[in-house]
Structure formats: structure tokens, C-alpha cells
Chains A and B, each alone.
Chain A
């Protein structure tokens, strides 16, 4: 089956985004395809490159980067991202900010990418 996920939880607020990442890995382990994870609303904080986890805590970025290494597309909603300072280099340049703040494994894109993913996927699950 083809899966797509929507992630709305912050990396530090509760375990919802960690649960989403664990579910994503389990989807791949089960032999399904996962083409896109769409981060919406507060979920865009998952893409910040500068998050530093204390040594005895889980690194919230690691689970997502492992998915990106398996060709899962990680898209931050551009409207949610820009207003929270989660910028790629294009947006940083457009708004005359000092530089990109998101990890290069993530891209920013419009809601159309969520609509497209939901139309193409057999299963769309939301994690908030």
C-alpha cells in the first residue's frame, strides 16, 4: 500500500511526532511505500536544523533523517513554516533573513502537496 502522513505535533511538546516517526519506520518495515510526510502547523518545528538534544534525550531529528535516507519526502507546509521562522535558503533570501534554518533533508511546499499525497496514497494518517 501507499502511505502518506501528516505530522502536527512539535518535536518536544509530547511524544506525538516521535510516534509518527516510529509509525513511518514501521510502515516501511511492513513493505509498504511511504512517499511523503507533510508537516503542518506546529509540526514544522520538526524540520529545524538547529535543535540540539541533551545527551540523555532522544534526538528528534534523527528519526526523520533516517526516513529521508530511505527516500521519504519530508515537506514542511510553507505557510506554517515561514511564520515560525522555519526557512529554506530560498525563503530566507526572499524575506531577507540571515540564512536557512531548516535541515536540508526537508523542503518547504504548499498545501497542494498534501492534497496530492492524499489523492495518491491508499492511506493517509494524521499525528497531532
Chain B
């Protein structure tokens, strides 16, 4: 089980590669420009498998972009302490940037 840390924007090839490589049990943490995928009504939202309950968005990065009030309800917004907790839970991390 991997923790995928995705910071590339939804229009990038890196973003698509990450989603393609993500296993069913893997967690996905959206950070940097990837947080735009977590906006309610965004086209990318449907591709994230939010129903898995394993999709998270890094709140400081959403706040930095002024979109924290527009995040989809289905995605858990987390801070740095919860990011550390996620890294405890998943034995390996893959960074996509």
C-alpha cells in the first residue's frame, strides 16, 4: 500500500500517470496545484475514486490558492499533522511532481 503525494496540476501528464499507477488500496494526497482537482464540480474529481475514502487534500495548499471553501465534501482536507499520520500508516510514499 502506497501513499501517493501528487502535486502536479490536473491537466498534466504526471497527474494522469499517478492516477493510472495508483492501486485500489493506495492513498492519494493532493497537494500543490493538484488541489484544484478536489474542487467541487471539477472535471478531474470523477477520476479520483473519491468513494474509496482514500483521497485527501492538503489544506495549507488549498488555502494558499484561496480555494479551501470550494473543496468537494467527499475529500478529507488535512493538515501537516494528519499528513504525518498518513505517512505512518503507509509504509512507502511515491511523490509525483
**Which residues of A come within 8 Å of B, CB atoms?**
1, 3, 8-9, 14-16, 19, 22-23, 25-27, 29-30, 32, 123-128
Interface of A: prevailing SS: mixed
A-B contact count (CB 8 A): 51
Question: Chain B residue with minimal CB distance to A3?
Answer: B87
B42-72 interface (Cβ within 8 A of A): 58, 60-61, 64
Contact with A along B1-41 (1 / 0, CB 8 A): 00001010000000000000000000000011000000000
A14 to B: closest C-beta gap in Å = 6
Question: Chain A residue with minimal CB distance to B95?
Answer: A126
* Total chain B interface residues with beta-carbon distance under 8 A: 19
**Which residues of B come within 8 Å of A, CB atoms?**
5, 7, 31-32, 58, 60-61, 64, 80-81, 83-85, 87-88, 91, 93, 95, 97
Q: Once the chains are docked, how many angstroms separate the CA of A3 from the CA of B97?
A: 21
A16 and B80 in contact (CB under 8 A), knowing A125-B87, A126-B93, A128-B97? no
